[in-house]
Amino acid sequence: MKSAYQSICRLLASSGYHDRDIAEFLDKLLRMGPTSVLSDIRDLRHLPHTSSPRHVFDVPTDRFVPPPSETALKIERLLVHDVGMSKTTAIEHLSKEILLRFPNLQIPPESRKGFRSWLMRLSTLVPEKELLHVATSIRNRSVQDSPTDWRLK
């Protein structure tokens, strides 16, 4: 123990820290207790040495906000723009296809606020990726794109 104490004192002596910094460290060590300090030291052993605190520590935040969903706009483009369906026909086709996949689903009624608003309400019941799959399948039955790739046989 004595030699570890002396070695660490030597390390501190050669570290270039001022007496006031070392006193602050010792004061904090006394307040935190050896278990917490040892835990911090173990943590530091696992951190990349050249990392600065900004590159290591995150502050809990709720500021991450995703952009507004593009799903409704994409479906409108697929069915109304690409196929030329009326919005009412698009709702009929989508409802029919979705009920085939989710037979017990209560499809929301057509909204007075419009097609995109109806799609937004639908997306609270059906995952957006499923809605896009259904809409693209309907679209591709009417619009033939050239093949994108070779077939895998």
Q: Which of 1, 2, 11, 57 binds other proteins (CB under 8 A)?
A: 57
What is the SS3 assignment for 52? coil
Q: What are phi and psi of 108, to 5 degrees?
A: -65, 145
Q: Does 76 bind other proteins (CB under 8 A)?
A: no
Q: Is 142 in the site for other proteins (CB under 8 A)?
A: no
Comparing CB distances to other proteins, the nearer of 5 and 64 is 64
* Residues touching other proteins, count (CB under 8 A): 41
User: Could you tell me the two tokens for 19?
Assistant: 């007496």
> Does residue 42 contact residue 98 with C-beta atoms inside 8 Å?
no
Q: Out of 46, 100, 104, 124, which residue is the one contacting other proteins (CB under 8 A)?
A: 46
Per DSSP, the three-state class of 64 is coil
Cα–Cα distance between 46 and 42 in angstroms, integer? 7
**Interface contacts to other proteins, rule CB under 8 A:** 39, 42-43, 46-51, 53-60, 64-67, 69, 71, 78, 127-133, 136-137, 139-140, 145-146, 148-150, 152
